[in-house]
Amino acid sequence: MLSVLRTIWEVFLHAFRKRVTIQFPEEKPRLPPRYRGRIILSRDPDGGERCVACYLCAVACPVDCIALQATEDSTGRRYPEFFRINFSRCIFCGFCEEACPTYAIQLIPDFYMSEYKRQNLVYEKEDLLISGPGKYEGYNYWKVAGVKIGGKDKGEAEREAPPVDLQSLLP
């Protein structure tokens, strides 16, 4: 009996607390940057497409809602020919972001993606690719990878020695 009365009292007190509910959409919520909402593809600090089409996000996705196809430019830089996320399936778990070795795919605090037609929730690369590095500034995968691409020869990546001279006779 006593506990019931105490509960009623506490519920009553809550009526005077500050509200957490906000009047969305007139009022926008402030969400932390690591909130897991809409997914974007970012660019590296030099403005290049970050995604290297490694398929890791796709394989990590528990609902298999990411599909892409890798291709390469003439210099050997790999990127996705198409990149599709079916947001009507996405559960915003963030596994793709965790799997991504290049920081390309990121979940951002934008969650308002309601559509009348489910088909409109299918996003292609044009819809996903933003013009900046997103949450992670500074990182450029190609600067650490060993493969040669346009503008970066062998031995020019971070912590790389110049290519071995096979003709040298020095011991």
Residues that bind ligand SF4 (CB under 6 A): 51-57, 68, 99-100, 102, 104-105
Omega before residue 25 within 30° of 0, cis:
yes
Contact of residue 14 among another protein, ligand SF4, none (CB under 5-8 Å per partner type): none
Q: In angstroms, what is the minimal distance from the CB of 162 to another protein?
A: 7
Q: In which residue are the tokens 């020019």 written?
A: 156
How big is the CA angle at 58 (ends 53 and 59), to the nearest 5 degrees?
A: 115
Q: In angstroms, what is the minimal distance from the CB of 123 to ligand SF4?
A: 13
Q: In angstroms, what is the minimal distance from the CB of 34 to another protein?
A: 23
How big is the CA angle at 129 (ends 39 and 109), to the nearest 5 degrees?
A: 30
Q: In angstroms, what is the minimal distance from the CB of 127 to another protein?
A: 12
Q: What residue type is assigned to position 14 of the chain? A: H
- 70 near 62, Cβ under 8 Å? no
How big is the CA angle at 105 (ends 102 and 111), to the nearest 5 degrees?
A: 155
Binding site for another protein (CB under 8 A): 52-56, 58-59, 61, 63-72, 78, 84-86, 88-89, 101-102, 118-119, 121-122, 124, 141, 144-148, 154-155, 157, 159-164, 166, 171
Nearer of residues 25 and 146 to another protein, judged by Cβ: 146
